[in-house]
């Protein structure tokens, strides 16, 4: 208003109002739309690009070998030869093979002998490490040292200790009045010796897993149990064990899977006869039988069938674990 009055007094016309902004040209609109689509594509595709390397590696080194092994198990395949379709003959051959059932029984017995004492010792060791001991940090590192030792070094040392002629174990047994034990050619002594190697190597590892679970148990539970007059043993049984039950179930499943795939310890312990599991196959496991069939005799089809049987056993173990976990959730 003041501008109009001033313009009228001066005899000049008022300035024109500002023109409305002109629409952007078509090229600019096309550029903006392309950038918008590119942004949306980047927002959706970037997460898949980040996880793609894992799936590519899994497909190349996990899924493809699994599917190809299943295809080989349905064929008769010799090293350097052509594959011949046999259907389920390799599986029926395993059913009728005494070597397969012997290896399966050895895998089960060695697994039980090595897993049960190992987890019980790990549980007790973790319970001791959970207290405020002097040098507790050093002890926690020390119990993990066997796990860091290579399988070859540990097995060769124990093979010397269990040597039937000059081993330290037989020497000690002789000093206390026992006869020497044939730790290599006898079935149960050989399996016990291999189980000792497994126990020595994995007890500390499981103990640290249990220790981590025990440290997550609320201290209020122990204080309440102490006020009720519970001893340390009663607190361990009634408070610690129920609180770390999922961890115990996890270690049982993992240790069972490891026992099913046991390979390095029995192979190195047997020396030149390690692949066959000793002179009488007394400690031949499923993994050793699979290796012998595949690379010693060249029967890749039979070896692939053994591999798939082991996979089915592991899936069965996983199914039992899920069933037990569900029952535990229902009871709690």
Higher pLDDT, 14 or 260: 260
Judge whether 254 and 119 are in contact, CB under 8 Å. no
- 289-293: average pLDDT: 93
Residue whose C-alpha is closest to residue 290's, from 280, 279, 276: 276
Q: What is the pLDDT of residues 210-236, one digit of tens each?
A: 999 999 998 898 888 888 888 888 888
Kindly tell me the sign of the dihedral angle through the C-alpha atoms of 150, 305, 113, 331: positive
Report how far residue 139's alpha carbon sits from residue 133's, in angstroms, rounded to the nearest whole number. Answer: 9
pTM, rounded to two decimals: 0.81
Q: Supply the pLDDT for residue 22.
A: 57
Report how far residue 57's alpha carbon sits from residue 286's, in angstroms, rounded to the nearest whole number. Answer: 27
Q: What is the pLDDT of residues 143-192, one digit of tens each?
A: 888 988 889 999 999 999 999 888 899 999 999 988 889 998 889 999 99
Q: Supply the pLDDT for residue 77.
A: 86
Q: Supply the pLDDT for residue 297.
A: 87
Instruction: Write the CA distances from 22 to 18, 26, 35, 125, 165, integer angstroms.
Output: 12, 12, 22, 80, 101
Higher pLDDT, 24 or 267: 267
Q: How much of the chain, in percent, has pLDDT values that exceed 70? A: 90
Encoded tokens for 218 = 């609320």
Q: Supply the pLDDT for residue 30.
A: 55
Q: What is the pLDDT of residues 27-66, one digit of tens each?
A: 555 555 677 777 778 778 888 888 899 999 999 998 999 9
Residue whose C-alpha is closest to residue 266's, from 200, 206, 196, 181: 196
For 227-308, where are the E strands, in sequence order? none
- 262-276: average pLDDT: 89
Q: How much of the chain, in percent, has pLDDT values that exceed 90? A: 48
DSSP state of 278: S
Q: Supply the pLDDT for residue 200.
A: 94
Judge whether 251 and 206 are in contact, CB under 8 Å. yes
Residue with the two structure tokens 């996990």: 62
Binning pLDDT at 50, 70 and 90, where does residue 12 land?
low
Q: Supply the pLDDT for residue 262.
A: 92
Neighbours of 302 (CB within 10 A): 27
Decide if pLDDT at 111 tops 70: yes
- 297-323: average pLDDT: 90
Binning pLDDT at 50, 70 and 90, where does residue 21 land?
low
Binning pLDDT at 50, 70 and 90, where does residue 24 land?
low
Decide if pLDDT at 1 tops 60: no
Q: Supply the pLDDT for residue 2.
A: 47
Residues in the chain, overall count: 332
Q: What is the pLDDT of residues 68-103, one digit of tens each?
A: 999 999 999 887 778 889 889 999 999 999 999 999
Instruction: Write the CA distances from 176 to 162, 291, 297, integer angstroms.
Output: 16, 41, 45
What does the angle CA 197 – CA 199 – CA 205 come to, to the nearest 5 degrees?
120
The chain-wide mean pLDDT, for the chain, equals: 85
């Amino acid at each position: 208003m003041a501008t109009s009055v001033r313009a009228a007094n001066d005899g000049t016309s008022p300035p024109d109002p500002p023109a409305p902004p002109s629409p952007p040209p078509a090229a600019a609109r096309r550029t903006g739309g392309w950038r918008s689509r590119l942004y949306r594509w980047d927002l959706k595709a970037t997460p898949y690009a980040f996880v793609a390397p894992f799936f590519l590696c899994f497909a190349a080194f996990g899924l493809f070998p699994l599917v190809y092994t299943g295809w080989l198990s349905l064929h008769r395949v010799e090293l350097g030869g052509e594959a011949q379709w046999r259907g389920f003959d390799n599986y029926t051959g395993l059913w009728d093979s005494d070597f397969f059932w012997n290896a399966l029984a050895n895998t089960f017995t060695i697994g039980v002998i090595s897993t049960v004492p190992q987890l019980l010792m790990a549980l007790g060791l973790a319970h001791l490490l959970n207290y405020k001991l002097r040098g507790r940090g050093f002890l926690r590192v020390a119990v993990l040292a066997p796990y860091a030792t290579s399988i070859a070094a540990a097995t060769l040392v124990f093979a010397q200790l269990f040597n039937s002629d000059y081993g330290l174990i037989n020497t000690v047994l002789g000093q206390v009045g026992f006869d020497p034990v044939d730790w290599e050619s006898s079935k149960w002594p050989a399996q016990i010796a291999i189980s000792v190697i497994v126990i020595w190597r994995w007890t500390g590892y499981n103990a640290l897993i249990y220790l981590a679970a025990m440290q997550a148990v609320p201290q209020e539970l122990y204080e309440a149990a102490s006020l009720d007059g519970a001893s340390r043993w009663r607190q361990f049984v009634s408070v610690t064990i129920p609180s770390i039950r999922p961890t115990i179930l996890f270690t049982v499943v993992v240790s069972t899977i490891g026992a099913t795939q046991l390979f390095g310890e029995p192979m190195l312990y047997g020396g030149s006869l390690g692949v066959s599991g000793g002179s009488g196959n007394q400690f031949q496991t499923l993994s050793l039988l699979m290796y012998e069939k595949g690379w010693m005799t060249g029967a890749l089809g039979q070896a692939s069938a053994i591999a798939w049987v082991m996979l089915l056993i592991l899936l069965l173990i996983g199914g039992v674990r899920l069933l037990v976990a569900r029952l535990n959730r229902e009871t709690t």
